Each structure stands twice: as C-alpha cells, then as structure tokens.
Amino acid sequence: MQLPDAEQLCTSLVSQLRAQVTPDTAIVGIVTGGAWLAERLHRELGLKTPMGTLDVSFYRDDLGKSGLKKQVLPSQVPFEVEGRPLLLVDDVLYTGRTIRAAMNELFDYGRPARIDLAVLVDRGGRELPIAAQFCGARLDVPAGKVLVLERDEAAGGKLVLQLSAQRRKPSSAKGSGK
Amino acid sequence: MRNPQLNAHGELQHLLTIEGLPREVIVHILDTAGSFVGITERDVKKVPILRGKSVFNLFFENSTRTRTTFEIAAKRLSADVINLNINTSSAAKGESLLDTIDNLSAMHADMFVVRHASSGAPHLIARHVEAHPHLHVVNAGDGRHAHPTQGLLDLYTLRHYKQDFTRLSVAVVGDVLHSRVARSLIHGLTTMGTPDVRVIGPKTLLPEGVEKLGVRVFNDMNEGLRGCDAIVMLRLQNERMKGPLLPSAQEFFKSYGLTAEKLALAKPDAIVMHPGPMNRGVEIDSAVADGPRSVILPQVTFGIAVRMAVMAILAGQ
C-alpha cells in the first residue's frame, strides 16, 4: 500500500500546532519514533522548555505477554510537570495502550495542567477511549501489519513511514501494539 | 543439561548464580538497571510493573541490608512484599524448606527471594517449583556459593565508573575463601571479558585452585594492587572463621587492610568498592572508606536499581 510522506505530515503537524502551543508548553516524545518526531516539532516550533522523552516499558500492560524489551531507555523529563500544559507526541496511534502507559508515567512526575496528543498517523483500531487532538493523517492499516516511523540517518535524519508484516519481537522493537 | 536458570527460550527464569549466565543476559540486566536509576531519583519512586505480584523474601540467614534493598526494590516495582525471617536452627532443614515453599506457593506467591546458609538451597527451590512456570526464584546469597545480585551491582558500579570491562584490571582483596560475593563477581568479570582479575589474600583465606577461575593470585597486597583500576575489598567474615586461619584482626589489617598508602599503588583514578557491612580498621581504613575514591555508598544505591531490573525481567518471562 502507498504510505504518506512522513516529512509532509510533519510539516502539516507543525502548522496545526503553531497556534496552539504556549510559552509554557512542554513537549514529550515516546521513544523511539515519537521522540524523533518530538525532536523535530520542538525545533520547528521553537519551544523554550527542553523536550522530554518517555520509554513507557515499565508502565505497559502487556509485560506478562511480551516480557521486558532489551533496551529500556531512561525516561527524561527535564522540566516541572506540575501545572504545565504538555504536548505528548507519538508516531502512530493505534490501540491507545501506549498513550495510556505514557499518561500514567507522566502523572508520576506531577499533575500537568493538561495533556494534548499529537501523532503523525492515526491508524484507528482503538481499544481505549483515547483520541489525538493533532494528527498528520488518518490511515487504514490492515490488522496484523505494523506501521512504524524510521529515521534515515544517512539522509540527514529524514523521517520515513514503514510497513512491516508482523510485530517485531519485544527484544528489538519499542514493543508497542502498533 | 539445560542451565536451570534459563527457560526453554534461553530467557531468565530464575537468578541463581552468575556462573554460566550468558553475557547478553548480564548486559540486559545492567542496561535495565540503568533505566531504574532515574526512577529512584524521581518524586514518585515507583513504577507499576509488578503490581498485583507477591514477592516473598525468605531469609533463612540474617541480613538486614540485602533484605531491605530487595524489599525496597520490589516495592518500587509496586509488588506486595512479604518478609519471612526463618530460623534455621531447627532440624531437618531440607524437609522443612520445601514444605515452606509448598505452603507459600499455595498462597500464590510469584517470586521467592532466598537467602540461605547452605550452598545450593535456591537451586533446590527452583527445581522444586519447576511445575509452576510463573514462579521465579532469586538467590540473595547461598552459603559460600553465590550472591548474584551483589555481583551484578558490582558489575554495574564498575561499568558506571569505568565503562569498558575489556580494559580493566580489578583486584579482589581479603577473605575470598568464605566469600560468595567474590565468586559471583569473578564469574561476572570473566564473562564480561575483563582481561585482568586479581585476587589478593593470605593463603589461608584463598580457596584452593582459585586460579582456575581465570584470576591471578597474589599473597602480597602491595604487589597485587599495582596499577589496578578498581579494588574490591571483602569483609573479613569473622562469624564464618573456623579455627585459627588468622593471627588477629590487627595483623590482618597490617598486611591486607586498605590504607591510603596501599591505595596509592593502584591507578590514580582507581575506585574502591566494598559489599558491606564494613569492618573499619580490619579490612579497610576509615580514611579510605570515606575518601574521594570510595564508591561504597553509590554501590548501595545501584544495588536497588539492579534488583529492580532482575525482578522486572523475571516477571516478564
């Protein structure tokens, strides 16, 4: 199937977000794809607050099924969460379970004023009442296929959407339900 | 024969000993511990990964520190922790041990953290619970055999301060004979590719054939410390000493106590480690224990993250 150009979706997200962010807004990306996207948005929007990254592995609800992935990265939240508007960023929104885990983790840092969600692609298939306020594109992806964001370092960090046949093993992937 | 701590897929089912543990399993534990260090610095020092699981601390031998760090680690993973200090003086230990395990299994335990004076007790328990694949056993020190989480936290500390094991020279000093800490660390260091591991101590406190573990043996501490990157001091285990292995604690300190003068023989940036509890003035001088090269207290902090990592990985299998 034809996948949209991630770079174009990224530009569209930036224009949607420009009017919405405040000087207080902090951006938090979910590793790995969401963190790459957050990095890009943070730069393009010129946000002053340093960006954060979350690895939600310790908050996932499927530990018993998939085990703990091999490389859990430390979450970095280099700002006060208490009372702050947060923009949570992920590459692909699917079941909503990753977002639930991310929100639970954020609340362990404090009580944010609000959390908005920005994603590059919403592929439907929600299993939880979660919605993205900002979305690059909606896309029907057949169940059983995995849509992920890749970063091409050789091409200067160009973002590319990739479709693969099946879920990668938790040992090598971000272990999400995408 | 299959490694009893790994399941059919080569994943960690129990943590019984570092000996024979594949390098990638050790690296996975150390990497995961790295992520938990950050959590212990947050306001809310808790993640929900073991929520609803019951961890039983079975201490058949006293140890306040190890039990406490396991308890903190399990609680920071949101597990329910039940501490049992079981007096071993009763007869027929083998029988009663497995009876205890059966009873606790019937209470739907998920993990046993076992400290026992007899080498091999955690193995016995692991074999006994084979029929319950959701049950995991962590060895918290058995006899003179192994203390894998201490070995892993020592490895974590070394990696934190010195990064690359393949360039390291590590000296383990003192009562190696009675030390499960030394055994676990030596196996870990060799698995991680440490080229120079030295053991230093009087002949009476070094196990026979210790050089077969791939270490260099020194009876002269001054000679043994020369140019090393890290010094791991062992506690002189008074309570384990049977017979006159040593003239006196003072004599021991003179020959094998770590003083500033002896430390000066190691590399200028060498770190000093100790598993605790310390006997100040017996194996280590206070000035060194509290000095700038000592990483003894960071070891304790890392120990919690390492134990969190072990329990989180086991619970995920």
Per-residue pLDDT of chain A (178 residues), as tens digits, is 789 999 999 999 999 999 999 999 999 999 999 999 999 999 999 999 999 999 999 999 888 788 888 888 889 999 999 999 999 999 999 999 999 999 999 999 999 999 999 999 999 999 999 999 999 999 999 888 999 999 999 998 999 999 988 655 443 333 344 4
B280 and B211: one domain? yes
* Burial of B220 from C-beta contacts in 10 A (0-12 / 13-18 / 19+): exposed
Would B193 be classed as within a structural domain? yes
B202 and B66: one domain? no
Closest Cα to residue B12, out of B182, B145, B144, B152? B152
CA distance B74 to chain A (A): 13
Within an 8 Å CB–CB cutoff, is residue A58 touching chain B?
A: yes
d(CA B298, CA B153) in angstroms, rounded, equals 10
Q: Which domain holds residue B277?
A: 148-296
CATH number of A6-164: 3.40.50.2020
B166 and B88: one domain? no
Closest Cα to residue B61, out of B9, B22, B3, B115? B115
Provide the domain count of chain B: 2
d(CA B283, CA B200) in angstroms, rounded, equals 12
pLDDT of residue B94: 58
Do A115 and A173 meet the contact criterion of CB atoms below 8 Å apart? no
Q: Do B317 and A71 touch (CB under 8 A)?
A: no
B103 and B179: one domain? no
- Which residues of chain B make contact with A108, given a CB cutoff of 8 A? 42-44, 46-47
DSSP one-letter code for A169: P
B69 and B96: one domain? yes
CA distance B259 to chain A (A): 37
Tell me how far CA of residue B148 lies from CA of B26, B103, B199, B313, B314, in angstroms: 10, 26, 18, 15, 14
Among A54, A66, A68, which would you mutate to test the B interface (most chain B Cβ atoms within 10 Å of its Cβ)? A68
Within an 8 Å CB–CB cutoff, is residue A74 touching chain B?
A: yes
Would B286 be classed as within a structural domain? yes
Residues B116, B56, B185: CA angle, nearest 5 degrees: 45
Q: Do B316 and A64 touch (CB under 8 A)?
A: yes
d(CA A137, CA A151) in angstroms, rounded, equals 18
B67 and B124: one domain? yes
pLDDT of residue A170: 42
Other CB atoms within 10 Å distance of the CB of residue A164: 11
- How many CA atoms lie within 13 Å of A42's alpha carbon, on the beta-carbon side? 21
Would B18 be classed as within a structural domain? no
Of A59, A70, A110, which has the smallest distance from its Cβ to B28's Cβ?
A70
Is B166 a residue whose pLDDT tops 70? yes
* Burial of B82 from C-beta contacts in 10 A (0-12 / 13-18 / 19+): middle
Within an 8 Å CB–CB cutoff, is residue A129 touching chain B?
A: no
* Closest residue in chain B to residue A79, using alpha carbons only: B42
pLDDT of residue B43: 80
* Closest residue in chain A to residue B315, using alpha carbons only: A64
Read off the amino acid at residue B62.
N
* Closest residue in chain A to residue B313, using alpha carbons only: A68
* Closest residue in chain A to residue B76, using alpha carbons only: A58
CA distance B134 to chain A (A): 10
Q: How confident is the model at residue B292 (pLDDT cuts 50, 70, 90)?
A: very high
H/E run at residue B153? helix B148-162
B63 and B165: one domain? no
How big, in percent rounded to 5, are the helix, strand and coil portions of chain B? 40, 15, 40
Would B7 be classed as within a structural domain? no
B308 and B228: one domain? no
CA distance B43 to chain A (A): 7
DSSP structure string for B171-217: EEES--TT-HHHHHHHHHHHHTT-SEEEEE--GGGS-TTGGGGS-EE
DSSP structure string for A26-85: EEEEETTHHHHHHHHHHHHHT-SSPPEEE-GGGG-S-HHHH---S-PPPPB--S--TT-E
B189 and B51: one domain? no
Q: Do B11 and A67 touch (CB under 8 A)?
A: yes
Strand-pair partners of B198: B171, B216
Q: Do A58 and B47 touch (CB under 8 A)?
A: yes
The domain segmentation of chain A, as residue ranges, is: 6-164
Taking only the tens place, the pLDDT of each residue in B101-121 is 998 999 999 999 999 999 999
The answer to which of A39-48, A65-74, B274-283, B285-294 has the lowest mean pLDDT is A65-74
Taking only the tens place, the pLDDT of each residue in B110-154 is 999 999 999 999 999 999 999 899 999 999 999 999 999 999 999
pLDDT of residue B86: 79
Within an 8 Å CB–CB cutoff, is residue A72 touching chain B?
A: yes
Residues of B with CB under 8 A from a CB of A: 11, 28, 31-32, 34-35, 37-39, 42-44, 46-49, 312-313, 315-317
Do B126 and B101 meet the contact criterion of CB atoms below 8 Å apart? no
Within an 8 Å CB–CB cutoff, is residue A80 touching chain B?
A: no
Would B12 be classed as within a structural domain? no
B184 and B291: one domain? yes
Would B14 be classed as within a structural domain? no
pLDDT of residue B97: 84
| R_g of chain A, CA atoms, integer Å | 15
- Which residues of chain A make contact with B34, given a CB cutoff of 8 A? 74
pLDDT of residue B89: 47
Domain CATH for B72: 3.40.50.1370
Strand-pair partners of B263: none
A168 against B73, higher pLDDT: B73
B38 and B136: one domain? yes
d(CA B219, CA B174) in angstroms, rounded, equals 10
Report CA torsion sign: B106, B110, B112, B113.
Answer: negative
Would B70 be classed as within a structural domain? yes
- Which residues of chain A make contact with B37, given a CB cutoff of 8 A? 74
B115 and B138: one domain? yes
d(CA B79, CA B71) in angstroms, rounded, equals 9
Q: Do B49 and A55 touch (CB under 8 A)?
A: no
Is B242 a residue whose pLDDT tops 80? no
Would B2 be classed as within a structural domain? no
